[in-house]
């Protein structure tokens, strides 16, 4: 059986690992959740034990849902008397997307009406509605013309652990707090003797969640210990009671063995009072030490986090002059600990950078060898701490997309006796330029959820290169793809090498990327155009996110990465327009547009390219998005020859040919010479209302408007397909929209 566990975006892979560890047969990350293979016992165990899931949804029915009438009919067809009694209470939560059904509350009302009508017809009475604590909570999802009605096995949001009595201005959800702790390696660090510190603890969420993890307390125990979370007829009450009894036994053993290895501080006395109240409600009154202390006054670790050091471990160690240093007994613990923190920021991701700097300074002072897991507003705020992050993760805190930084250790060892190398004036100039660009683009990148973008394109003429940022969707790390433009012949090679080195140093500094995650290429013209052969053999594929699609890129082995970032707006347009239609991708390359069409709900896709390497890449991209079956056809063929033979009809066509190709397996191709025949053949395959998007990046290309207008209506839309990060290079591509000219 398959069920669904929802979570905040950015936690999917953590949740999948957690559910497998809890015993589920298989868990596959999806968007804002995980598809799980397991039985009803696995689902009930997830309700009790998952620290990361927002809800656990057991599907009852799935059906086509083109409109609200179909929604009512599909829900009405369920034998609801098998799921609840007429005397029970009911609630329906709904999430809808698409154009057919746009009002979630109305959709929930129609499902409620269907349940009520079915039960009234069956027994003459109807259930009441209770939105706060219903006997049965249903969940409705309508997406891409399909509806799924599920039982919410937890009866509501699972982040509510039932210990919160007081909260600050911006409380952190317990599920996200668990993710911050898990990314920091807790509770494994606790098992090794480590401790936990939060120097901006607010109402104590991170520390309380961390202590309950260390004590092996099931997160659903306080919430659901007294009664099952649902009175759904399919809920196995005997199994639930067995799970609860097992959890209670583990809790007793865990609390008895819990070490006092937790401390929190905050500048606000009211926050500390709230934290104490919450900790008491969680049964942790004596487990966590609380202190009112601004972060800039944190000069040593709290005493309970620092076991004595030295051979005797009996007191302060003497200085060279024989006197005792009172601070010496507060050395590094025998095992490194973890600092967790959610520094303040508001809905605009605005914050006091000086506060973030003070946080970084304090952590370097008091716990340089510890690990840190810090939930910051964004990368730029994280950068303000001055800490070097080993990993970055993008997560949602409510509606805000934030950056989770993991530093291990907080203060890395200096490189050599002289410490880190200072940037040269040129490298510093590059770094400053990149930081300015990042600040200027932060708003639109956050708004449009852009993880892969062009950060630099020869902005400083003497540093002639393009720098593209790719963010790993799985681990959150940034990678750089740096393409050096060939220098004029009159510039000495030594100068070129020095400038490129300064460019790389400045980019690594500003974008916080180590050298091993920077791929470098040199674009040079050769006979027949740019060279596209294999450059390396690392075979290292990175999974990145674009819109709702996940795509594989290879930064090192080829001149191009497998994803042309300048076509991002056009691919997102294709995703919007492909729903229910037949999509054709000519010269499909690695199939990014095909994946977007399929994820957007295309009824079928056809992708054509001559390269077996690119088509294998496309197949990998489809698998990455769980797309398969005969509806998605791949053809290895010369696009022109394939079009001459094809008799299919398509609602949406994308054609982005190379400037020139001289493959041994096909006739030479020149886009300027061949575009009229190519477009004529492609337009002939359009459905009456179909659309063809034609694009190319040949700078001297001239569309033969007179010839093309004989068979198609043509509109240039280049400006609409140019993303903000390529505004400095408006001729990087041109795009036209074509429709078949009707007789």
Task: Express each pLDDT in 381-399 by its tens digit.
Answer: 888 898 988 888 889 888 8
DSSP at 559: S
Helix 174-183 to helix 12-21 angle (10° resolution) is: 80
Distance CA(657)–CA(650), nearest Å, equals 18
What residues pair up with 552 in beta bridges, in sequence order? 543
- Given a cut of 70, whether residue 145 has pLDDT beyond it is yes
Q: How would residue 566 be classed by pLDDT, with cut points 50, 70 and 90?
A: very high
Sheet holding 478-485, edge to edge: 453-457, 465-471, 478-485, 518-523
Give CA–CA dist 101/68, Å, rounded: 7
Parallel, antiparallel, or unpaired: how do β-strands 33-37 and 136-143 relate? unpaired
Three-state DSSP at 144 gives coil
Write the CATH number of the domain with boundaries 425-530.
3.30.750.80
The predicted pLDDT at position 330 comes to 37
What confidence tens digit (pLDDT) does each residue in 276-317 have?
999 999 999 999 999 999 999 999 888 888 653 333 333 332
How confident is the model at residue 323, as a pLDDT?
35
The helix (run of H) or strand (run of E) holding residue 641 is helix 639-645
At residue 414 the predicted structure's pLDDT band, cuts being 50, 70 and 90, is low
Q: Is the pLDDT of residue 349 over 70?
A: no
Which of 610, 594, 684 is CA-nearest to residue 647?
A: 684
How far apart CA 223 and CA 517 sit, in angstroms, is 44
Residues 519-526, mean pLDDT to the nearest whole number: 69
Place 531 in a pLDDT band, splitting at 50, 70 and 90.
Answer: very low
User: Are the CB atoms for 332 and 369 separated by under 8 Å?
Assistant: yes
* pLDDT of 250 above 50: yes
* DSSP calls for 90-116: EEEEEEE-SSS---HHHHHHHHHHHHH
Which pLDDT does position 446 carry in this prediction?
Answer: 86
The pTM is what? 0.70
Q: In this predicted structure, what is the pLDDT of residue 462?
A: 92
**Segments of the chain assigned to CATH 3.30.750.80:** 425-530
pLDDT tens for each residue of 207-246: 999 999 999 999 999 888 678 999 999 999 999 999 999 9
Where are the CATH 3.30.2130.30 domain residues in the chain?
2-152
Separation CA 79–CA 428 (nearest Å): 69
- pLDDT number for residue 737: 98
Higher pLDDT, 382 or 80: 80
Q: What is the mean pLDDT of residues 249-275?
A: 96
Whether pLDDT at 347 is above 70: no
Q: 658-697 burial string, b = 16+ CB within 10 Å, else e?
A: bbebeeeeeeebebeebbbebbebbbebbeeebbbbbbbb
516 class by beta-carbon count within 10 Å (0-12 exposed, 13-18 middle, 19+ buried): exposed
The yes/no answer on whether domain 162-215+258-311+330-413 falls in CATH 3.40.50.150 is yes
CATH 3.40.50.150 boundaries in the chain = 162-215+258-311+330-413, 564-740
Please compute the mean of the pLDDT values over residues 112-134 and round it to a whole number: 91
The string of DSSP letters for 243-261 reads HHHHHHHHHHHHHHH----
Q: What percent of the chain has pLDDT above 70?
A: 91
- 159-200 pLDDT, tens digit per residue, is 999 999 987 666 899 999 999 999 999 989 999 999 999 999
Q: Which tokens belong to 214?
A: 């260390």
Q: What rounded mean pLDDT belongs to the chain? A: 89
Q: What CATH number does the domain located at 564-740 have?
A: 3.40.50.150
Residue 418 has pLDDT above 60, yes or no: no
pLDDT single digits (tens) 602-613: 999 999 999 999
pLDDT of residue 308: 38
DSSP class of 317: P
672-709 per-position pLDDT tens digit: 999 999 999 999 999 999 999 999 999 999 999 999 99
Rounded average pLDDT over 56-61: 98
The pLDDT of residue 562 is above 70: yes
Q: What is the pLDDT of residue 334?
A: 46
Across 549-564, average pLDDT: 94
Report helix, strand or coil for 481.
strand
HEC secondary structure over 651-684? EEEEECCCCEECCCCCCCEEHHHHHHHHHHHHHC
Residue 539 has pLDDT above 50, yes or no: yes
Average confidence (pLDDT) over 340-362: 84
The C-alpha atoms of residue 85 and residue 134 are separated, in whole angstroms, by 12
- The domain 2-152 having CATH identifier 3.30.2130.30: the answer here is yes
Task: State the pLDDT at residue 333.
Answer: 41
- Residue owning tokens 């998605």: 632
Rounded to 5 degrees, what angle do the CA atoms 206, 208, 210 make? Answer: 65
């Amino acid at each position: 059986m398959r069920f669904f566990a929802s979570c905040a975006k950015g936690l999917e892979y953590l949740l999948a690992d957690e559910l497998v560890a809890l015993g589920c047969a298989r868990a596959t990350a999806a968007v804002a959740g995980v598809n799980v293979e397991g039985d009803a016992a696995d689902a009930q165990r997830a309700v009790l034990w998952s620290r990361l899931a927002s809800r656990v949804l057991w599907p009852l029915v799935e059906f086509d849902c083109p409109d609200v009438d179909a929604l009512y009919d599909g829900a009405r067809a369920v034998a609801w008397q098998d799921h609840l009694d007429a005397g029970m209470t009911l609630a329906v939560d709904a999430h809808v997307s698409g154009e057919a059904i746009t009002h979630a509350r109305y959709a929930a009302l129609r499902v409620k009406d269907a349940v009520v009508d079915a039960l009234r017809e069956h027994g003459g009475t109807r259930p009441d509605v209770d939105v706060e604590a219903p006997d049965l909570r249903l969940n409705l999802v309508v997406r891409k013309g399909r509806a799924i009605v599920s039982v919410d096995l937890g009866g509501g949001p699972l982040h509510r652990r039932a210990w919160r009595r007081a909260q600050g201005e911006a409380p952190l959800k317990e599920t996200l707090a668990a993710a911050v702790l898990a990314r920091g390696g807790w509770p494994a660090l606790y098992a090794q003797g480590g401790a936990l510190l939060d120097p901006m603890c607010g109402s104590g969420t991170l520390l309380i969640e961390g202590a309950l993890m260390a004590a092996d307390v099931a997160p659903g125990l306080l919430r659901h210990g007294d009664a099952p979370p649902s009175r759904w007829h399919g809920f196995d009450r005997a199994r639930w009671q067995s799970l609860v009894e097992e959890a209670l036994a583990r809790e007793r053993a865990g609390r008895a063995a819990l070490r006092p290895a937790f401390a929190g501080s905050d500048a606000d006395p009211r926050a500390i009072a709230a934290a104490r109240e919450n900790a008491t409600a969680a049964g942790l009154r004596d487990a966590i030490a609380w202190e009112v202390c601004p972060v800039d006054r944190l000069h040593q670790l709290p005493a309970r986090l620092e076991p004595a050091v030295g051979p005797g471990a009996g007191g302060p160690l003497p200085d060279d002059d024989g006197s005792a240093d009172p601070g010496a007994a507060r050395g590094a613990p025998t095992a490194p600990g973890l600092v967790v923190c959610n520094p303040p920021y508001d809905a605009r991701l605005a914050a006091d950078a000086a506060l973030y700097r003070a946080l970084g300074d304090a952590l370097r002072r008091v716990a340089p060898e510890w690990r840190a897991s810090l939930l910051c507003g964004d990368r730029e705020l994280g950068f303000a701490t001055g800490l070097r992050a080993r990993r970055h993760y993008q997560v949602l805190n409510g509606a805000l997309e934030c950056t989770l930084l993991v530093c291990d250790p907080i203060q890395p060892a200096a490189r050599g006796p002289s410490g880190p190398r200072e940037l040269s004036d040129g490298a510093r100039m590059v770094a400053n330029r990149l930081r300015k660009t990042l600040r200027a683009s932060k708003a639109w990148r956050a708004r449009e959820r852009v993880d892969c973008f062009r950060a630099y394109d020869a902005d400083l003429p003497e540093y002639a290169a393009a720098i593209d940022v790719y963010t790993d969707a799985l681990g959150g790390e940034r990678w750089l793809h740096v393409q050096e433009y060939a220098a004029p012949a009159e510039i000495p090679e030594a100068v070129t090498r020095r400038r490129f080195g300064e460019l790389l140093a400045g980019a690594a500094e500003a974008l916080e990327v180590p050298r091993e995650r920077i791929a470098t290429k040199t674009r040079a013209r050769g006979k027949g155009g740019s060279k596209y052969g294999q450059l390396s053999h690392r075979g290292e594929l990175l999974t990145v996110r674009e819109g709702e699609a996940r795509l594989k890129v290879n930064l090192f082995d080829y001149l191009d990465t497998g994803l042309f970032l300048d076509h991002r707006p056009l691919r997102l347009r294709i995703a919007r327009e492909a729903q229910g239609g037949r999509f054709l991708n000519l010269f499909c390359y690695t199939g990014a547009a095909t994946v977007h069409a399929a994820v957007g709900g295309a009824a079928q896709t056809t992708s054509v390219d001559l390269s077996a390497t690119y088509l294998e890449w496309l197949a990998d991209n489809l698998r990455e998005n769980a797309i398969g079956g005969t509806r998605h056809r791949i053809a290895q063929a010369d696009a022109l020859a394939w079009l001459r033979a094809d008799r299919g009809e398509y609602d949406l066509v994308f054609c982005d040919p190379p400037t020139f190709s001289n493959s041994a397996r096909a006739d030479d191709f020149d886009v300027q010479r061949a575009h009229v025949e190519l477009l004529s053949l492609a337009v002939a395959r359009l459905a009456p209302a179909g659309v063809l998007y034609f694009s190319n990046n040949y700078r001297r290309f001239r569309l033969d408007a007179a010839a093309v207008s004989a068979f198609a209506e043509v509109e240039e839309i280049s400006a609409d397909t140019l993303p903000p990060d390529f505004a400095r290079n408006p001729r990087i591509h041109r795009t036209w929209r074509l429709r078949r000219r009707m007789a």
